[in-house]
A and B are shown apart, each in its own frame.
Chain A
């Protein structure tokens, strides 16, 4: 336990801890001793919390039974004073923390909430409010701007809630639905097959850790870290050679063999106790049996988390279709949404919201898996 010595090394003069966040915490500083933890021993089966409690009571005993240890004379008075002060500081700092958290939360949610609320405006209202912005953006700001508001108004609540945008997107303008479907047909095969291919490879990397295999695994990690600016060129070259350029396969195939899932799943699989696998082997189970009957069921939550992470990543893709799938007809909604011209601004908010529904539903449904997946990806 070398880390412990680093932890307890600060032997500065004990000062009263006024910044502590826990009310009623023992001001060990007044005990005037740094040797409380030295040579402590606990009976078997004592939990961490109990240990902490025992230490605290030791600290109290020091104060109570060894008055000569005290540095300051009027300790009782000072302790009472500092305790109430600690409590006040605690209250104040908590209030500040809550305020900060609320500000960050508003910042985080604002764009999403605004998109949702704006999607219930009628297209006329959108044009009146934002027309001046999108007209100047699309460069078609001609005489048409005269009847538009000169100042845009970011509005929270529509004057009159209307489902007009949704009606147009869903029933009158098939383009958006077609692009939405393009997104689905690109993302679903990538997620499904990358997980299949990736879990097989991850199993292999997790089970057999010879030197050559480790070097290959490192190459996979390097590949995973490469930005699109690098990987898109090889993808393009090979798609050109295979004659699949400008077809969905040009995006789907490299997507399937992306090494991210191999990396993450392999990290999970290495945590499966080898005794499980050895026991199965003794019973005569083959590798395939171990993989399907032991490894996969134990990685269920990992696979779910993986699926969510992959889905978000590919649902959000922009770089790949711009280069590998240049035909606007075949492009996913993630690229198409930006190509709004002034005529379509009226329905853009509804289209945007419909586009974020699938990932948001997945998030609400599988948040704990997502958090677990992210957390585990960080464990070395």
Chain B
């Protein structure tokens, strides 16, 4: 069976580096400690779920994703619609909007620091209007800052996805809707949006995945111990790694894995429901 041979290297690697250790972790998470193999049931899980740091990190991460994902979807769609008109220099704008995706976070962190530090550019600019200085990275404003950085990096990618989806909307349908007297808003909500719904779903999923990578920006900007509002799950995990607290790590990883499966599963289910509605 040649096709099995084709799959073997990948499957072996995935088993060894992901699935097998995941099972080990799940097993570990029910033990008292790495050295003491006493079965303690769900105790490690309740410990983690009562851990203040984990709860703070979980809340911050979820809050960020809940804000960032819809914004990334809507703004990217608006950008795609903007470039879908007869705008002069469209391909130039497309390249420019996509460009931030290529730039490593580490390379532009310096600029963000200069802009957002307490004595930074943004504050002196606002000072020009007689506004008070804001400590951007050490107050609740920091959520807004990382939201901005997230959008800066991810809008281009999402926009390209939407642009290709907009190209696949049959022009014939749009034309006939126009002749039927539908204005451009109606044409968008009744025709384009129907064809865009799978892409909206896909962009949503990708943005969700990318929203967990905001840790990079936060870490490179503020290091291991950021302001409370920026304390994310990855910070929690890093600290647990530093203490080599296997029990905490294992149960936290399993909890997050389950939560991810629930979120993604719900999204997939919702998508197939909506997909059915569209067909009818």
Binding site for B on A (CB under 8 A): 2-4, 6-12, 14-15, 17, 19-22, 25-26, 28-29, 34, 36-37, 48-49, 51-52, 55-56, 59, 94, 97-98, 100-101, 104-105, 107-112, 114-115, 118, 130, 132-134, 136-137, 150-154, 197-198, 200-201, 203-205, 207-208, 216, 220, 222-223, 225-238, 241, 253-254, 256-257, 259, 262, 286-288, 291, 312, 315-316, 318-319, 322-323, 333-335, 337-338, 340, 348-349, 352-353, 355-356, 359-360, 362-363, 367, 370-371, 374-380
Contact = CB atoms under 8 A, between A and B. Distances in A.
Contacts of B10: 197-198, 200-201, 257, 259, 262
B185 A19 contact: yes
B257 interface: yes
A151 B119 contact: yes
Nearest to B215: A319
Contact of A8 (B119, B180, B215): B180
Nearest to A239: B17
A201 B104 contact: no
Contacts, number: 341
A230 B260 contact: yes
Interface of A is mostly: helix
Interface string B75-114: 0000100110111100001111111111111111111111
6 contacts: A4-B176, A97-B82, A259-B10, A318-B215, A355-B104, A360-B102
Contacts of A12: 181
B177 A8 contact: yes
B249 interface: yes
Interface string B206-249: 00010011011001110100000000011001100100000001
Contact of B171 (A3, A34, A48, A319): A48
A333 B105 CA distance: 11
B165 interface: yes
Interface residues of B, number: 113
Contacts of A237: 21, 24-25
Contact of B99 (A109, A228, A235, A348): A109
Given A10-B190, A115-B111, A152-B114, A197 B249 contact: no
Contacts of A262: 10
A94 B90 CA distance: 12
A360 to B, nearest CB: 6
A377 B165 CA distance: 11
Contacts of B102: 312, 356, 359-360, 362-363
Given A2-B279, A253-B13, A319-B216, A207 B241 contact: no
Contacts of B18: 223, 231, 234-235, 254, 257
Given A223-B18, A227-B213, A316 B2 contact: no
A294 B265 CA distance: 36
B190 A316 contact: no
Contact of B114 (A28, A98, A133, A197): A133
Give the one of B25, B180, B221, B279 with max A CB within 10 A: B180
A34 B100 CA distance: 46
A263 B85 CA distance: 32
A241 B112 CA distance: 40
B95 A220 contact: no
A13 B199 CA distance: 32
